[in-house]
Amino acid sequence: MSSQRLGLHQKLQQKLSPQQIQLMKLLQIPVSLLEQRIKEEIQENPALDEGDENEEEEFKENEEEDETADDEEEEDLSEKEEDISLDEYLDEDEIPDYKTSVNNSSADDERREIPLTTSGSFQDQLLAQLYQCDFDDRRYHIAEQLIGSIDDDGYVRRDLNAVVDDLLFSQNITTTVEELEKILKNIQSLDPPGIGARNLRECLLLQLSRKNQHSASVQLAEKILSDYMDEFSRKHYEKIMRDMHISEAELKTGMNEILKLNPRPGNTASDGQKSIQHVIPDFIITNNDGSLELTLNSRNAPELKISRDYKEMLHHYSKDKGKTKQSREAIQFVKQKLDAAKWFIDALKQRQHTLLETMRAIMEYQYEFFIDGDQRKLKKMVLRDIAEKVNMDISTVSRVANSKYVQTHFGTFLLKSFFSEGMQTESGEEVSSKEVKQILTDCISAEDKRHPVTDDALTKLLNEKGYNIARRTVAKYREMLSIPVARLRKQL
């Protein structure tokens, strides 16, 4: 039986300090959320104040004068408090308007106003139209349940049997699928056209039913959707023309009617409710006659300083010779808050330095791209390339690139979009996959839409240009660009 022993052992172990953890978290925050994070820290730590440290001296010079003035004001206020009447505040002639208003802008300032629209929810707009259907209370509640089942695209994708169960358990209403279908037809007569459909075919047919039924093109479009929806969605136009005994010109007239329809009618009604999100760039690159200048966008980040009151409080407690337990606890509390405030200010300064160094390395690495914005000039660049240039860890560079944007004279870009894997040309030159994707996009944009370029043909084109790339890689890049296969790109 082995005996237990107690001993001392030395061991080296890497651990992140609280200050390093705080810095890593701040690095990940984009400038759009930095102000909110600073406000939260100010609320949690009373030793942190907004303002510039250089203002401290001015405050100290006027401190005694301010205290004396405050005492005199308190005495005057206590004497005059009884003489104040409400009539003085109501008398508009006593105080001119210009003394109670402020204007922080000049006539030369550019004013950019963003128009805001207000509207009810998508379901509210449909419920407001139910009066057209002349329902009693019971059928109104059923219609209300069906409208609540419509998704953002405007479809009722929930099974009607499930809606029957919902009505029974939630509202104690007994109904049938047949009754739901009748009420759903009434809902489908509301605006926008196509609302309440259960599939794409029904949605498009509902919209066509509101058009001129005597039109030959509308009748042809209804025939195509009713009998040849699968062939139409797969662009098997030859089969449709052969089975329907129509010419290509006739098929085009029917297709034109279909292409005017909206496959997602719910989005039309909900567009006004979507909030407009503005991208706030973290970096700004300006081109001054071929010379690039980098600046860090910190306009929303307020200046921070250590609270003067807390400094004086610590100085006051430290002078107390007969320290009690309460005073020692107070000293410890104040010191912790002051240290936390210093760490946070230092972390913000370190954040700015790290962001600038990393972005400057990216700008220099992709200098040719930032000059004119040509995607084909983007070089192959991975996190390791920048980490070696700035002598930082790869994880630090990844945190800097995460959710950050840079503003240039040709657009605003996500920092991560500049990082890409590379491949070799026949000459052995390393090129970015971004360059290959741009060439693919250009080739597909210039193709004859009646005879789209296949992946095999795209592979041959790239090989002729000197890019050693396989067909499966071309297919992968095409899918990453959200470009469908050649058959689905075909047009008449």
**How does pLDDT run along the chain (492 residues), one tens digit per residue?**
556 778 777 777 666 677 777 778 888 888 878 888 888 888 888 888 877 655 544 444 544 444 444 455 444 434 444 443 434 433 444 444 444 333 434 444 444 444 544 456 678 888 889 888 889 999 999 999 999 999 989 999 999 999 999 999 999 999 999 999 999 999 999 988 999 999 999 999 999 999 988 899 999 999 999 999 999 988 899 999 999 999 999 999 999 999 999 999 987 655 545 555 678 898 999 998 888 999 988 766 677 888 888 777 777 766 766 567 777 787 788 888 888 888 888 888 898 899 999 999 999 999 999 998 888 788 888 889 999 999 999 988 988 888 889 999 988 998 988 887 766 666 666 667 777 888 888 888 888 888 899 989 898 888 888 888 888 888 888 888 888 888 888 887
The residue type found at 470 is A
Give the pLDDT confidence score for residue 106 in this predicted structure. Answer: 44
* Helix H or strand E segment including 305: strand 304-306
Structure token digits, residue 43: 């609320």
* Bridge partner list, 430: 424
pLDDT of residue 91: 46
Nearest partner of 205 among 228, 175, 182, 181, judged by Cα: 228
Q: Give CA–CA dist 49/42, Å, rounded.
A: 7
Among 208, 313, 200, which Cα is nearest to 260's? 208
- In this prediction, residue 25 carries a pLDDT of 82
SS3 content of the chain, % helix, strand, coil (to 5): 55, 10, 35
Task: Give the C-alpha distances (Å, rounded to integers) separating 118 from 215, 250, 269, 271.
Answer: 38, 44, 12, 11
Residue 189: the pLDDT is 92
Write down the pTM of the prediction. 0.56
Q: What is the pLDDT of residue 162?
A: 94
How confident is the model at residue 87, as a pLDDT? 43
Q: How does DSSP classify residue 486?
A: G
How would you write 71-133 as a 3-class SS string?
Answer: HHHHHHHHHHHHHCCHHHHHCCCCCCHHHHCCCCCCCCCCCCCCCCCCCCCHHHHHHCCHHHH
**How crowded is the C-beta side of 311, counted as CA atoms within 13 Å?**
11
Ramachandran quadrant class, 459 (left: phi over 0; alpha: psi -120 to 50; beta: rest) = alpha
Q: Where are the alpha helices (DSSP H) in 271-407?
A: 308-319, 325-365, 367-372, 383-390, 394-401
pLDDT at 15: 64
Q: Alpha-carbon distance 410 to 374, whole Å?
A: 10
